[in-house]
Chain A
Amino acid sequence: DAMVIQNPRYQVTQFGKPVTLSCSQTLNHNVMYWYQQKSSQAPKLLFHYYDKDFNNEADTPDNFQSRRPNTSFCFLDIRSPGLGDAAMYLCATSRGLQVWNPLHFGNGTRLTVT
C-alpha cells in the first residue's frame, strides 16, 4: 500500500546532540510537510517542501533544518536539541498545496531529549 513512513518511531537524544528524523513516501506526492506536536496541543507546521522548493514558517527556530534529496525522502534535522524540543514530529504529504488536497500522515516520531 502506498504510504508515508517515519523512522524511527521513538528517538531519544541528549541535550545538544544533533538528531535526524526521516520520512519516506510511496505516494509520489509533490508536497512534504513537517509538523511538531507537543502534548495536548495542535500540530504546528515547521516547514514544507513543494518539490525541491523549501518553505520555512516564520516562527520555526533556526535549530530546525530540513532536507529533501529526492521526491520520496525528507529529513528533519535538529542541530542542537533542547528540552523544549521534546515532542511528536509528524511528516505529511499531499499532492498539491491547495487546501482541498487531503493530507497523508506518517505515524510520527516521538522525540525525547534527556
Chain B
Amino acid sequence: KNEVEQSPQNLTAQEGEFITINCSYSVGISALHWLQQHPGGGIVSLFMLSSGKKKHGRLIATINIQEKHSSLHITASHPRDSAVYICAVPSLTDKLIFGTGTRLQVFP
C-alpha cells in the first residue's frame, strides 16, 4: 500500500508570499499528480510529473524520485490561490491514492 503524507495540513500566507507544500510517499511510483480543490468542491488537475520539474504560470512542481518526495511551489501568492492542494500517487495496482490535502489561505 502506498501511503501519501502532505505537509503542512494548513497554511496561511499573506498575498505575495512564496508558498511551498510538500508530499512524501512510501512506494516507488511512475507519476505523481498535484490537484487543486476550491471551496465549491471541484477539483482541477495542476500537474502530472514523473521526474524533475514542471512550471505553469506561478506554479512550480518538483519531484525527487529517489527521495520519494514532491513539492508544489506558488510564487507571488494571491487570495485566489486559496484552496486545498492534493497530492496523489498510484497504488501498487495503479489506482490513485490521494493525500488528505493542504488547506491554503492567502490573505490580502
Complex: A102 Cα to B95 Cα, angstroms: 13
Among A14-22, A64-72, A77-85, A92-100, the one that faces the other chain is A92-100
Interface hits, A80-114 → B, CB 8 Å: 88, 90, 92, 97-108, 110
Interface residues on A, range: 20 to 34
Interface residues on B, range: 20 to 34
Q: Which of B30, B43, B48 contacts A90 (CB 8 A)?
A: B43
B42 with A103: CB separation less than 8 A: no
B42 with A108: CB separation less than 8 A: yes
- Please tell me if A27 contacts chain B, counting CB pairs below 8 Å: no
The chain A residue with its CB closest to the CB of B42 is A107
- Please tell me if B76 contacts chain A, counting CB pairs below 8 Å: no
Interface centre among B42, B43, B96 (most CB of A within 10 A): B43
Question: Which residues of chain B are near A57, meaning CB under 8 Å?
Answer: 95
Q: Which residues of B contact A (CB under 8 A)?
A: 29-31, 33, 35, 40-45, 48, 50, 86, 90, 94-101
